[in-house]
Amino acid sequence: MNITRQCCRQHQHLLRARFYSQTRLESRRNPLSRYAPLALGAGAVVGLSFYFFYPDASRSAPTLATSPLSATHFTPTRVTSNVVSGPDTKLLEVTVPPELLPRDDAAGSPESPFAPIWSVYIKDDDIQVERPYTPLEGIDKDGRMLFWIKKYPKGEVGRWLHSKTPGENIELRGPLKTWHWKEDEWDEIVMISGGTGITPFYQLFHSVISRPSECKTRFTLLHSSRTPADLPPPRIMDNFSTFATQNPDRFRLQLFVDSREGPSSPSQLPTPHFGRIGKSAIEECLDLNARPSLWNRLFGKTEAPKPKRKVLFLVCGPDPMISAVAGPFGRNLSQGSIRGVLGDMGYVSSEVYKL
C-alpha cells in the first residue's frame, strides 16, 4: 500500500481522535475452502497470524529529514522542554526546524491545514508504534508545538515521551484534521471532555474562541477530572478561567471531579462540581433547567425541551466517559449511534461529534 493511501486511512482514524491507531487487513477468500474443511482451519490460523503479527502499515511511512512537515512522512523534531505539570502529566514542547515548516497559502482561514482542530502522530522509535496527540496552541512561526501528555500504566508512547529530555529527537507526522471548524455554523457549541481529552478544545479556544471575532457562536466547556489535582495545569486552565470571567456571553466553564480527596488545583478556578457530567449539567448549560409549566407538571411532562437554536456537542475523553455521555464509537472507529446521556435527551448524530 502506498503512503498516500495509508495516510488517508490514518486521517480517518484521527477524525475520531482516538488514542490507538489500527489497521485492518483485507480478507481474501480461499477458493479451495469449499472442498476441504481442513483448509478452512488452516485459513483461520493464517488469518489470525496476519492479524496479530503483521506489522502496522503506518510504520511504512518514511522519515525525511529535509522535507517539509507532512502527513505522508515522519519529520524529526527536537525536544525543547519537558516539565512536570501534575500527577503523571507533563507539558512537552518540541520544535520543527523552521525550514521544514510547510507553506501555508491559506493561513488564518478555515481552509488552512493548521486551522483547528488538528493533530499529529508521534512515533515511539523503540517499539515503532505511533499515537495521535493534539498540539495545545497549534504551531507557531518558529515551529514550536506544545503537548499535554499523560502517562498511563499501559500507554507505551506516553511513558516514552515522559522519558524524553531537551535536545533529544522525536519523529512526528501531520497535520491531520480531527474536526473542521466553520464560523457561525452553530449557534452554540458544547465541549464535553475528560482528562487529556481537553487538548483539542484548548486548541480551538486558543485559535478561535479567545480571538476577537464577529462570530456569534457561544461556547461552553464541561470538563471532568478524577480529583482537583488531576485538573489540567495553570498553563491551560488559567486562560480558560480568565476568559470565561471576562466574556460570559461568549464562553462558559464548568468543572467536575469524581473525588474531592487530595490537594487542590494550583489554578484559580471555579469550585468544581462533585460527580460526573450528566443530564442536569447539560440542561443547565443550555438554560433548559427552568421550572416546568403547571400544565406539564399536571400531566407528568417533565422532560426539558431541546433548544430551538442549533447546538453541537463535541465529546472527547476516555472511552468510558464518551460511552456514558454519547454512546461508544462504532465499528472501524466510526461515530456509532448516539446513546448515553445525549441520546436519552433526544440528540442525534448530526448534533454530536465524538473526537
The per-residue pLDDT for 304 is 60
**Does residue 42 surpass a pLDDT of 70?**
no
| Residue type present at position 119 | S
Residues 52-57, mean pLDDT to the nearest whole number: 43
Q: How many CB atoms lie within 10 A of CB 54?
A: 10
**Does residue 154 surpass a pLDDT of 80?**
yes
User: Each residue of 303-334: pLDDT tens digit?
Assistant: 566 778 899 999 999 999 999 999 999 998 89
Q: Most confidently modeled of 7-11, 59-63, 64-68?
A: 64-68
* pLDDT, averaged across the chain: 84
Contact 339, 347 (CB under 8 A): no
Q: What is the 3-state secondary structure (H, E, C) of 172-229?
A: EEEEEECCCCCCCCCCEEEEEEEHHHHHHHHHHHHHHHCCCCCCCCEEEEEEEECCHH
Work out the pLDDT band at 181, boundaries 50, 70, 90. very high
Look at residues 83, 84, 77, 90 and name the one whose alpha carbon lies nearest to residue 158.
90
User: Each residue of 17-37: pLDDT tens digit?
Assistant: 444 343 333 333 444 444 444
Work out the pLDDT band at 294, boundaries 50, 70, 90. low
Question: Which of 139-148, 284-293, 331-340 is least confident?
Answer: 284-293
The per-residue pLDDT for 13 is 46
Q: Most confidently modeled of 25-39, 264-278, 332-346?
A: 332-346
Contact 113, 107 (CB under 8 A): no
Work out the pLDDT band at 54, boundaries 50, 70, 90. very low
- Between CA 225 and CA 79, with CA 120 as vertex, the angle to 5 degrees is 85
Work out the pLDDT band at 2, boundaries 50, 70, 90. very low
% of the chain residues with pLDDT over 70: 78
Question: Which of 248-257, 263-272, 345-354 is least confident?
Answer: 263-272
- Between 29 and 248, the higher pLDDT residue: 248
